[in-house]
Chain A
Amino acid sequence: MRALLLKRLLQLVAVSWGVGTLTFILMRSLPGDMAYRIAASRYGMDAVDNRAADLVREELGLNHSAWSAYWQWFTDLLSWNLGNSLVSGEPVATQLWHMLGHSVVLAVAGILLSILIAIPLGLASAFKGGWLDRSLLMVSTTLRAVPVFVIGLLAIIMFALEWNLFPVAGFGTPAHLVLPALTLALSLAAISNRVVHTEARRVFGSSFFEFARMKGLSPSQTFMHHGARNIAVPVVAFLGIQLITVVEGVVMIESLFSWPGIGHGLAHAIFARDIPLIQGAALMMGVLFVVMNTLVDIACHYLDPRGGQLA
């Protein structure tokens, strides 16, 4: 276990440095003058002019060489300081913390809801099969066939407009969280419920399941002691992989429901060329990715020790 943590720590450092540098290079290769873009975000889109852009350029030292800006960022990073946002001047860390808070709540709510939807449906369709299985397959395929913002739009039209149950957008009260989380959950569950179905079907048909029945265990005992855990192993592994795609959904949903998360903030930062914020956000996502990956690996190893030494 310690070997894994050490290795992942190294990976963490490598990823944070790598991602930060990758975004820096990419952002610096973007066309358009950064000073103007930042001035536009600062002073409003109609009020930006040369004077404002020149002022911004001096204030932020944008005419210094790219290399010195990178070096500045790197030395700050070593002292745990992510630098300040070019647009709002606030430290990137606080802004990210605020945005990250909202994104994590949305992601956690979405993932939990998707698990609550996918697992029961997946198991039921594997166990009963027949019409339930076919209809679930049809619904899942349709949900997978549309981009996540379309699911969001339809959810708004149905829940928020026709039945007026939930607010259309914004944040603050838990009611605001329902539609975004539901949209994310549906887009995730559409895939994960079929994975649960396939794994459950595999386990129900496996010879160790049958032999457990042969030994005299009742169907429910067999499922509890042998089925559940054997299904859980590949499903947890899949959820681990799915975590990566969660971010894509989050960016779309945040922009549709104007949810002040990291995805949405990042999209704006890219337009406004707020490089420190983008580096900070990408770094945060890279760190989250490595941490999540490690947690999933540990969970998988705990569930299925056969996976050999925890590499």
Chain B
Amino acid sequence: MSLIHIENLAVYAGNTELLAPISLTLEKGQRLTILGQTGSGKSLLAQAIMGNLPNSLRTEGRVTLFGEEVNAKQRQRFWGRRISMLPQEPWNSLDPLMGAQQQLEQTYRMVAGESAANAQQKAAYTLALQGLQDSGHKRVDQLSGGMAQRVAIACAMAGGAPVLLADEPTKGLDVSRRDQVVQQLMSQSKQGALITITHDVAVARQIGGRMMVIKSGELLEQGNTSDILSAPQHPFTKALIEADPVNWPDKTPASSHKTPLVEVQDLTIGRGNKALSKHLNFTLHQGEVVGVVGDSGCGKSTLGDTLLGVHQAMEGTILRHSQAPLHQWQKLYQDPTAAVSRAVSLATLLEDTVKLHKIDRARIAPLMRQLGLDEALLQRNSEGVSGGELQRFCMLRALLLDPVFLFADEPTSRLDPITAKEVSQLLVDVAKQNGCAVMLVSHDPDLIEKRCDRVIRLDA
């Protein structure tokens, strides 16, 4: 008897089709991964299965759970007990005012029907299992992304639901946390079934089982994960796989860099009065691309800001060997939409920079072509363009100032894999041509490996 059987499930807004009809069947112990870019409608599929689509959308097709055909209303009885869904942002899905353990206890008591004492004991045990034994009393805002995710999973599973739907479970987590969460998902759903929705090829590879690839609401390809990953049929799938830094071509060895730009001796960096990393010694040369890697919270961003002079170094010295004026020490931000004012069009912003520093307008056109930005784009404001386009606009603005040093703070972590690959390549090439030193920060060691001349590893 199949746990889940879906026939021609489709989602419509009015009569525009958001998700083309899809059919699938899941037996006990099976695992399915749905792979696709952000915004390709894979979340809608999860909500359609679960039965909690926003009431402005409607579905067609039949959903049979545990052998019983149920419409959206009837499925609510199964929530938590037979089928459970893990939403995208765990730090938003936990009650902000209640402690983690308390929320877990509550699920045991009310959903699984445990006695108060049992529920309390079980909750403590589950949290200890996750290595969260001493943060039971903490609230969501006191937990890191990874910890919040693990509490959310525990809560979702507390009701004993055999089938688990995980929607982008690893979004925003760094590599080490990501693998931990994937292991937890697979162990929890051994005896039931697991449907995982993700854009991360590495996650799909670890989960195995069967896979479906979706692009803008269309099902492109489905089959065993290992077969598709090794021999993708559809060009989009191929591009998606290649976008994983592991598959990027190796970096050509850089020419030697001689002239030092900035020298750091026995530097300690920190924010407020808490020191993050101590005794750092390195020299950054002109035109060199240096990568900085480390777990979140080890001070990667703070190092860059200290070099730019935004933060004071706590100890040690920073020697600048170049007399370049302040505005030639620039920064690229992790979230470009937060770094560019929404009030006016990009053209006006560009115009402001050009007027301020009296830049020769002739240089704009060639640079825009190189960055793949077309003229029409500039008429819109920062919300009217995609994340990739906006990051490239920021690079345009920075490069027009002839920077000697560019601190790129995880510039591609918010972009989807394919765009991230293009933008990171573009960044390194353009910087090299203009003799600008780059410090690239990322939590993905493969990306740093494939893009930088040299790597600095920070440990918390």
Quick check: which of B61-69, B89-97, B208-216 contacts chain A, the rest being far away? Answer: B89-97
A217 close to B (CB within 8 Å): yes
C-alpha gap A188/B167 in the complex (Å): 44
| B79 contacts A211, C-beta separation under 8 Å | no
C-alpha gap A305/B95 in the complex (Å): 13
| B81 contacts A216, C-beta separation under 8 Å | yes
Contact of A215 among B89, B97, B139, B158 (CB under 8 A): B158
Nearest CB to that of B82 among chain A residues? A216
Most buried by B among A211, A213, A217, A306: A211
With A216-B107, A216-B159 already in contact, the answer to whether A226 and B80 are too (CB < 8 A) is no
Contact of A208 among B80, B84, B96 (CB under 8 A): B96
Most buried by A among B50, B93, B107, B139: B93
A207 close to B (CB within 8 Å): yes
C-alpha gap A303/B94 in the complex (Å): 16
C-alpha gap A207/B152 in the complex (Å): 12
C-alpha gap A216/B139 in the complex (Å): 21
Chain A proximity of B82: nearest CB distance (Å) = 9
| A216 contacts B111, C-beta separation under 8 Å | yes
Count the B residues whose beta carbon is within 8 Å of the partner chain — how many? 29
Residues of chain A with a CB closer than 8 A to B141's CB: 306
- In the complex, per-residue mask of A182-219: 1 if CB is within 8 Å of any chain B CB, else 0: 00000000000000000000000011101111111100
Residues of chain A with a CB closer than 8 A to B281's CB: none
Residues of chain B with a CB closer than 8 A to A305's CB: 97, 139
Residues of chain A with a CB closer than 8 A to B155's CB: 211, 215
Residues of B66-122 whose CB lies within 8 A of A? 76, 79-81, 84-85, 87, 89, 92-98, 106-107, 110-111
Q: Tally inter-chain residue pairs, CB-CB below 8 A.
A: 72
| B84 contacts A214, C-beta separation under 8 Å | yes
Contact of B79 among A206, A213, A226 (CB under 8 A): A213
Residues of A214-242 whose CB lies within 8 A of B? 214-217, 221, 225-226, 229-230, 233
Chain B proximity of A21: nearest CB distance (Å) = 40
| B111 contacts A207, C-beta separation under 8 Å | no
Residues of chain A with a CB closer than 8 A to B107's CB: 215-217
Residues of chain B with a CB closer than 8 A to A207's CB: 87, 89, 92-93
B233 close to A (CB within 8 Å): no
Nearest CB to that of B84 among chain A residues? A214
Chain A proximity of B78: nearest CB distance (Å) = 9
Interface size class of A (residues with CB under 8 A): 20 to 34
Nearest CB to that of B102 among chain A residues? A225
Chain B proximity of A222: nearest CB distance (Å) = 10
Residues of B119-163 whose CB lies within 8 A of A? 139, 141, 152, 155-156, 158-159, 161
| A230 contacts B96, C-beta separation under 8 Å | yes
B52 close to A (CB within 8 Å): yes
A33 close to B (CB within 8 Å): no
C-alpha gap A215/B79 in the complex (Å): 6
Chain B proximity of A231: nearest CB distance (Å) = 11
A304 close to B (CB within 8 Å): yes
Residues of chain B with a CB closer than 8 A to A226's CB: 95, 98
With A207-B87, A207-B89 already in contact, the answer to whether A215 and B159 are too (CB < 8 A) is yes
Chain B proximity of A177: nearest CB distance (Å) = 36
- In the complex, per-residue mask of A112-125: 1 if CB is within 8 Å of any chain B CB, else 0: 00000000000000
C-alpha gap A226/B94 in the complex (Å): 10
Nearest CB to that of B76 among chain A residues? A213
Residues of chain A with a CB closer than 8 A to B52's CB: 210, 213-214
| A304 contacts B97, C-beta separation under 8 Å | yes
| A229 contacts B97, C-beta separation under 8 Å | yes
Residues of B296-338 whose CB lies within 8 A of A? none
C-alpha gap A225/B104 in the complex (Å): 13
| A306 contacts B87, C-beta separation under 8 Å | no
Chain B proximity of A250: nearest CB distance (Å) = 33
With A210-B87, A211-B152, A306-B141 already in contact, the answer to whether A217 and B111 are too (CB < 8 A) is yes
Residues of chain A with a CB closer than 8 A to B106's CB: 217, 225
Most buried by A among B50, B97, B155: B97
**Extra A-B contacts (16), CB below 8 Å, given A216-B84, A306-B96:** A207-B89, A207-B93, A208-B92, A208-B93, A208-B94, A211-B93, A215-B79, A215-B80, A215-B84, A215-B159, A216-B110, A216-B159, A221-B110, A226-B98, A229-B97, A305-B139
Q: What are the 8 closest A-B residue pairs judged by CB atoms, nearest first?
A: A216-B80, A216-B111, A211-B93, A216-B159, A207-B92, A215-B80, A226-B95, A215-B107
Contacts from A to B (Cβ < 8 Å)? 206-208, 210-217, 221, 225-226, 229-230, 233, 303-306
Contacts from B to A (Cβ < 8 Å)? 50, 52, 76, 79-81, 84-85, 87, 89, 92-98, 106-107, 110-111, 139, 141, 152, 155-156, 158-159, 161
* CB-defined A-B contacts under 8 Å, sample of 24: A207-B93, A208-B92, A208-B95, A210-B93, A211-B87, A211-B94, A211-B155, A214-B52, A214-B79, A214-B80, A214-B87, A215-B158, A216-B81, A216-B107, A216-B159, A216-B161, A217-B80, A217-B107, A217-B111, A225-B95, A225-B98, A225-B106, A229-B97, A306-B139
